[in-house]
Amino acid sequence: MRSFPTDFAWGSATSAYQIEGAWQEGGKGPSVWDAFSHTPGKVANGDTGDVACDHYHRVRQDVALMAEAGLKAYRFSIAWARIQPSGTGAPNPEGLRFYSDLIDALLARGITPYVTLHHWDLPLALETDLGGWLSPRMAEVFADYARICFDAFGDRVCHWITLNEPWVTAINGYGNGLFAPGRVSTDEPYRAAHEMLRAHGAAAEVYHRDFQAAQGGVIGMANNCDWREPATDSPADRGAAQRALEFYLGWFADPLYHGDYPISMRARLGDRLPTFSDEDRSRIRGSADFFGLNHYTTHLVADGEGASDPASNAGIVEDQGLRLLVDPAWPVTAMGWPVVPDGLRSLLLWIDARYDRPPVVITENGCASHDAVVDGAVDDAFRIDYVRGYLGACHEAIEAGVDLRGYFLWSLLDNFEWASGYAKRFGLHHVDFATLARTPKASARWYRDVIARGGLPAALGGDGGSARPTDVPFHWRSGVGLTS
């Protein structure tokens, strides 16, 4: 038996725009994702989040699904435009009530809420009037919004996440234009990221100063990072892999833990990378009570010049001086993302060393697979294998000393997968988007058993599953058969 800590937060995650629908109900204002998905050509198949999973109207049913899946914790996001329809000003009582009721329903089932304040659906007025995340005013605007939420929900919510994946907003929202607000630039990603860090710092300061003592909770950020493994053992490739991690996770986590951007970023970007004032720096450093990590996949890294490929989650590789590669032997998910559980263990160890043993919560991990309902059931053996492998890697990291506190499987439901629309299914529960019927997949039952047992069976026996790629750690370092 591979047991996890007894108070481990076994959870699943969603976000508001991806599941709620009801885009014009309850006094909600429009968000940048409403505008973006309504723009022809931006989302596959012309899909929008107008209805999504209709969670707004089915919230009780969905909380019941969580309880049936045995979840101990649930991570969801608040749609800022439900609370403040134009991003500033007095809170909308209907919006407050919706989330307050959700929190009460979770607590009544013994499910701990983990609340993300902002998961990409910025109130549209902040984009049109202020310039969105490019505006230095966003720190105070975000802190005001955060205060409303701490005030309304902090008596019952003890786990806060300020921002989800600022890297994605910066790169896909302001760099390659794949996500809202759809801007294309090589400089704006660094400016937008800077304002998001300042906004996080301002909100965390409000929490720490005005709420934490009375409410007793914690606050952090959810950063995404995939593992970057050197393509060969050469010093150049090893350096490139380290640089790739610094441009990815270090971009956000170094300011949080060390008070400034990585030296490698400053060296390569010069003035394109903004500078923190002393006040910003002291607000941001030490502002995260835990390290939220979203992780999905691994790539190999080779030193040298590469060209940016938006699909690869590489960021602006021209700025990094490297190329990403994959081993063709790796299985891939329906997103085309390689399945490499050992990458998660490596990343957790990297975080542990670089940030001096922070408490870590995996705020997202999961996969898209080709799931269909057959005779009322969904056999998603692919997802079970994926999660088993990645949980195994988590267990190895815990054994190696990483202070891992929780794991949130993305996602509770099949949902609106951003620019991919409804074509990619990440859920523990299948959603028929014509009828909105939910069907638990085999993985929901499997996960319930894992949670009930508090861990995984022993490595290769019983339900332990097949050997993972970790059994031959990074054998592809030989460089044989690499394709970019």
d(C-alpha 287, C-alpha 285), whole Å: 5
CB of 263 to ligand GAL, least distance (A): 27
Q: Which is nearer to ligand GAL, 224 or 369 (CB)?
A: 224
d(C-alpha 162, C-alpha 160), whole Å: 6
Tokens 């008070």 appear where?
Answer: 259
Burial class (CB in 10 A: 0-12, 13-18, 19+), 349: middle
d(C-alpha 304, C-alpha 302), whole Å: 6
CB of 357 to ligand GAL, least distance (A): 25
**What is the DSSP track for 301-345?**
EEES-----GGGT---HHHHTEEEEB-TTS-B-TT--B--HHHHH
CB of 401 to ligand GAL, least distance (A): 27
With CB under 6 A as the rule, give the number of residues binding ligand GAL: 12
**Considering the rule CB under 6 A, would residue 74 count as an interface residue with ligand GAL?**
no
How many C-beta neighbours within 10 Å does residue 55 have?
A: 25
d(C-alpha 113, C-alpha 107), whole Å: 8
**Considering the rule CB under 6 A, would residue 380 count as an interface residue with ligand GAL?**
no
How many C-beta neighbours within 10 Å does residue 269 have?
A: 17
CB of 14 to ligand GAL, least distance (A): 8
CB of 385 to ligand GAL, least distance (A): 18
Tokens 């007894």 appear where?
Answer: 6
d(C-alpha 369, C-alpha 372), whole Å: 9
Task: Give the binding range for ligand GAL (CB under 6 A) out of 65-73, 187-195, 410-418, 449-457.
Answer: 410-418
d(C-alpha 167, C-alpha 248), whole Å: 7
Q: Rule CB under 6 A: choose which of 31, 172, 224, 264 binds ligand GAL.
A: 224
* Gyration radius of the chain over CA positions: 21
**Considering the rule CB under 6 A, would residue 417 count as an interface residue with ligand GAL?**
yes
Q: Rule CB under 6 A: choose which of 190, 422, 426, 474 binds ligand GAL.
A: 426
Q: Rule CB under 6 A: choose which of 364, 371, 396, 414 binds ligand GAL.
A: 364
Residues with catalytic annotation?
165, 364
Binding mask 147-186 for ligand GAL (x = CB under 6 A): -----------------xx--x------------------
Q: Which is nearer to ligand GAL, 368 or 402 (CB)?
A: 368
CB of 137 to ligand GAL, least distance (A): 25
Q: Which is nearer to ligand GAL, 77 or 320 (CB)?
A: 77
d(C-alpha 219, C-alpha 204), whole Å: 7
Q: Which is nearer to ligand GAL, 35 or 377 (CB)?
A: 35
Q: Rule CB under 6 A: choose which of 4, 11, 15, 408 binds ligand GAL.
A: 15
Contact 51, 110 (CB under 8 A): no
CB of 225 to ligand GAL, least distance (A): 11
Q: Which two tokens stand for residue 87?
A: 């991003």
**Which amino acid is it at 126?**
L
Q: Rule CB under 6 A: choose which of 80, 291, 410, 422 binds ligand GAL.
A: 410
Tokens 């050509």 appear where?
Answer: 41
Q: Comparing C-alpha atoms, which of 413, 431, 483 is closest to residue 75?
A: 413
Q: Could you tell me how many residues make up the chain? A: 484
Q: Which is nearer to ligand GAL, 273 or 347 (CB)?
A: 347
Angle at 173 between CA 135 and CA 30, to 5 degrees: 75
Q: Rule CB under 6 A: choose which of 74, 386, 418, 474 binds ligand GAL.
A: 418
Q: Which is nearer to ligand GAL, 131 or 389 (CB)?
A: 389
Binding mask 278-307 for ligand GAL (x = CB under 6 A): ----------------x-------------
Binding residues for ligand GAL (CB under 6 A): 15, 18, 164-165, 168, 224, 294, 364, 410, 417-418, 426
